[in-house]
Chain A
Amino acid sequence: MTTELDLLQGTLDLLVLKTLTWGPMHGYAVARWIRETTDDELHVEEGALYTALHRMEKRGWIAAEWGVSENNRKARYYKLTAAGRRQLTGKAAAFERYAEAVFRVLRTA
């Protein structure tokens, strides 16, 4: 990995919320999903990921529940709440506008 992309403020939340649209999953699965989807391009520190999960749970964007994992172990599952879904829509739109603006600047000759 030559350049490590530092995550911008709030981007991690966006990634996590988006990931959870696929269905409830535990923290390990979220981390793995992000890693695999981005081909490890985004270097997400897992500690920060868990912090984001718990913070969003506190804000009511996602809800957590203990369940049993595929290998029959007790695991904490997160799922999107209605509020979380609204957040995702809003944040995604904002991020797109933001990225667009940055690109426009970069593309100027």
Chain B
Amino acid sequence: MAHKPPRRPRLFGVDRTPSGVQRAVDDELRFHFDMTMRELMAGGMNPEEARREAERRFGDVALVRDHLAHIDRQRVGQEKRAEWWSGFWHDLRYAMRGIRRQPGFASVIVVALALGIGANAAMFGIVDRLLFRPPAFLISPERTHHLYFQRVRDGSVFTGNSAQYQRFLDISESATTTEVIGAFSTRRVAVGTGEDTRELTLGAMSASLWQLFNARPVIGRFFTADEDRDIGGANVVVLSYGYWQSKYAGSDSVLGKSMQIGPAAFTIIGVAPKGFAATQLLTPSAFLPIAVSAPQDFGEMWQRYRTTYNITWLEMFARGKPGVSVEALTADLTNAYRRSYDRQVAIQPRTTPIAIAQPRVVLYPVFEERGPEQSADTKVAKWLFGVALVVLLIACANVGNLLLGRALRRHREIAVRLALGVSRSRLARQLLTESLLLAVIGAAAGLFVAQWGGELLRATLMPQVEWESAIADRRILLFATVTALLAGLLAGLAPIFQSRRTDVAVALKAGAREGYAHRSLLRTSLLVLQAALSVILLVGAGLFVRSLQGVSAVDPGYDVDRIVWVEPRLRGAQLDSAQRKALRLALIERARQQPGVEDATVVLTVPFSGSYVDDIYLPGADSASKLGAFLTQGASTSYFITTGTRIIRGRSFTDEDRKGGPLVVVVSQSMARGLWPNQEAIGQCIKTSERTNPCRTVIGVAEDVKYGNFGDDWNLVYYLPEAQLGDNVYSLFVRARGNAANAVDGLRKSLQSMMPGAGYVVVKSLESVVAPSMRSWRLGATMFATFGLLALLLAALGLYGVIAHSVAQRTHEMGVRVALGASTRDVVALVMRESLRTVAVGVVLGVIAALVAGRWISPLLFEVSPRDPTVLAVVVVTLLAVALLASWIPALRAARVEPGVALRAD
């Protein structure tokens, strides 16, 4: 006896919330009990009996009620998931159909996103390596720290990471909250013998430092604490993986072989795993026990390095015990430092008293680039990462604008679907799926961009870093995915906002043209944003290009490209002062005989390398040191010819300026001007080093030179004839006939054979020494320019798209204008005026933003104001020109509208 169900569509809405599910169960059960009781009462029971009987028949009501609700909640969950997926597939198919229908439109979007995401993924890879990723193999990076030492000196706080060996021993001994304290120091050391001798960067490390890492040797073993002793230690060396591969072709037979390092022979005992660089960004070629290698490097001075607190030359790292907070660790290490400082004061009474110095330890992450002293390269890399993000933002604005344009074209379709009952949230999801799909495709393409551009970036940005990871590693993939999702979300937002504003009734009533004839404020704002961001990037590019121009145009006062720098290294060969002098002269003579060499000289101070600073006194006056520090250059008679530094007044050195002859000096122009303003410098007297020294007569004034840094004006330089100087560590400058780099190998070969014993020569072009100090500007200029052009391209694309679209939708209006007698020129002017107005707003905002942001970028620039008017003017003109160009074609199209056709349409 079945009841016929009523043939009606769903009468009651279904509430799928948990409480709604529970209510439905209760409703169903109440109906059941009511019906049962009614039946029973019809059979003659009273209500109370009927209720009891109904419950008996049912069983445990409370239990079943809960159970039913539980089953229903599960079912509702299943249904929701299924609906979500089916909706998702539907949206996806819809989006793919859209892409297939307009492949050109889709590819523009994909390319824009690919460039944006690719640039970011590539930059992220670099910034990640520099700043985010701890050194390879490091155990518990969160507990491992780089020790910086802070003390007050002359009223100002001084922070540095350089420490003494004795300090390392003191702190290791008295710290109680650390698991490991290690010391590390890199230096350039001659490795090999004879002509094979090369200077390599080696890492000297305490044996304890290995414990910071969970690295296992590829072959052999690492050294132990017993081997790392200055007395009774062992001459052992662990090779880096890269050096093992390149020098020994990865052969197992290197173990036990001997390796000439500096003055001593070391035994190879192991090879570190690939990627192991200890605490460094750049992998040293090999690792030595610090207490064994340092005495050999420093020779007789080792005693002073070992026992005094005068010489700081190593860095310290510590891992705290588990559970020790950073504050507690800092406090403990500070205590240990103060105890060590007390010992220092006891041994060296001239040390600043502890009450004034207030020494304390500050902990930083292991990588130096994350400490307080960041290199210019890292700062530029950080900026570039920011710039890459701006490019992505522009790409998103662009894509958003394109999608928005299409949403506007589909205005009526959307209105119809809303009228048919498609919910706005459903519609929003569909639009979002579309932009996300495009973003994901864009990200996939972007990874190719990153792969290709990443190699380029790595090579230009960090040429010496051994990149052990592939460019598309997990973190970068993750980054690209997240970026793509954010970009898709961001780009999808614009059309969604627009769809929310769609008024169904108005849209349906309007014809095709009115349907979207209203100008979209959102589109205009996106355009303004793009223009503004492009201005910022282009201004950045311009500033860096100007900096680079400035740096390249600087006349350093010597011919960088012509000079070869030769450093003779004795490496244990015992020569007295006279023998050393003889060797120098012989080397100069041999260099001069080389084909392709013009001249040679000895030098004391090498630009961008090491410098000698000394005090200067004037007769009758106090020390001249208030002018700044004075740089000493020791020179042969051929010095000025070799370097190309011009003598402005007076004369250069001659053979007459010999030992025992009248004491002479040549001063730089700035020095002459500073010491004797409005007087003739030649003939004046200065005393070097000590007030009591005899007068030196100024015989010449030389042009200013840049010795330390392109940016500073440190030009107080004086030249002394080598003959009248005491014994010093000289090196040689050789002037090549053509480019210095071509002369390097020949000079090394011929000069090496002159070196006594295990001595060797280091030969390199001066250019290779100077170039790295220009790199941050070159990098900034290249990268900013690349990103800036990218931004300009995207902006032009966006502008073109929007103008073309707005012209197309105003075909009717243009037709009316033409019919009423407007000329081609009028129409073109109308369209272009409007687009220019939009861009002009963006340009103004961008210029303001660039002026504000300039404050932060100015430390990275070279002699260019961040408000450089030329740069600003060029950028503004460029952007407006691009805007004109982008609106030119659509404007022409608008002007060619046939009034008849336009008016008949729709």
Contact = CB atoms under 8 A, between A and B. Distances in A.
Contacts of A58: 71-72, 74-75, 78
Contacts of B3: 25-26, 29, 69-70
Interface in B1-25: 1-6, 8, 10-12, 14, 24
B29 interface: yes
B2 A46 contact: no
A84 B2 CA distance: 18
B13 to A, nearest CB: 9
A7 B719 CA distance: 113
A47 B11 CA distance: 26
Contacts of B906: none
B61 to A, nearest CB: 7
A67 B75 contact: no
A46 B68 contact: no
A66 B12 contact: yes
Given A50-B68, A76-B24, A26 B31 contact: yes
Contact of B32 (A33, A46, A57, A74): A46
B693 to A, nearest CB: 102
Interface in A13-71: 22-29, 31-33, 36, 45-48, 50-51, 54-55, 57-58, 65-70
A47 B58 contact: yes
Contacts of B8: 67-68
Interface residues of B, number: 35
Interface residues of A, number: 34
B75 A68 contact: no
A75 interface: yes
Nearest to B25: A54
Contact of B61 (A25, A47, A68, A76): A47
A104 to B, nearest CB: 34
A67 to B, nearest CB: 5
Nearest to A22: B2
B35 interface: yes
Interface string B50-79: 000000011111011001100110110010
Given A45-B57, A47-B59, A58-B75, A76 B10 contact: no
B28 interface: yes
B36 interface: yes
A74 B12 contact: yes
Contacts of A25: 2-3, 5
Given A27-B32, A47-B63, A67 B71 contact: no
Contact of B27 (A67, A74, A79): A74
Given A47-B64, A58-B71, A74-B12, A23 B5 contact: yes
B51 to A, nearest CB: 14
Contact of A47 (B4, B14, B34, B60): B60
Find the residue from A47, A68, A77 having the highest chain B CB count within 10 A.
A47
A76 B75 contact: no
Nearest to B58: A46
A76 B60 CA distance: 21
Nearest to B72: A54
B102 to A, nearest CB: 39
Nearest to A20: B2
Contacts of B2: 22-25, 29, 33
Contact of B1 (A33, A50, A68, A69): A33
Nearest to B71: A54
A80 B506 CA distance: 46
A73 interface: yes
A50 B27 contact: no
B71 A51 contact: yes
Contacts of A70: 3
B11 A50 contact: no
Contacts of B31: 26-28, 69, 73-76
Contacts of B39: 32
B707 to A, nearest CB: 84
Contacts of A31: 32
Nearest to A58: B75
A66 B257 CA distance: 89
B544 to A, nearest CB: 65
B57 A46 contact: yes
Contacts of B64: 47-48, 50-51
A59 to B, nearest CB: 9
B38 to A, nearest CB: 8
Nearest to B63: A47
B27 A68 contact: no
A65 B28 contact: no
Contacts of B36: 28, 46
Given A58-B74, A65-B10, A66-B11, A51 B27 contact: no
A68 B162 CA distance: 87
Nearest to A55: B71
B11 A23 contact: no
A67 B413 CA distance: 36
A68 B3 CA distance: 11
B71 A48 contact: no
B58 A51 contact: no
A37 to B, nearest CB: 9
A24 B8 CA distance: 13
Contacts of B4: 23
A33 B39 CA distance: 14
B894 to A, nearest CB: 58
B29 A50 contact: yes
A68 B34 CA distance: 15
A69 B57 CA distance: 22
A50 B36 CA distance: 14
Find the residue from A45, A74, A75 having the highest chain B CB count within 10 A.
A75
22 contacts: A26-B3, A27-B32, A28-B32, A45-B59, A46-B36, A46-B58, A47-B59, A47-B61, A48-B64, A50-B28, A50-B32, A51-B64, A57-B72, A58-B71, A65-B10, A66-B14, A68-B11, A73-B31, A76-B24, A76-B28, A77-B5, A79-B5
Kindly list the 5 A-B residue pairs having the minimum CB-CB distance in the complex, ordered from nearest: A47-B59, A47-B64, A58-B75, A22-B2, A24-B5
Interface of B: 1-6, 8, 10-12, 14, 24, 27-29, 31-32, 34-36, 39, 57-61, 63-64, 67-68, 71-72, 74-75, 78
Given A27-B31, A47-B58, A48-B64, 13 more contacts: A24-B5, A26-B31, A31-B32, A32-B39, A36-B1, A46-B36, A48-B59, A58-B71, A65-B10, A66-B10, A66-B14, A70-B3, A77-B5
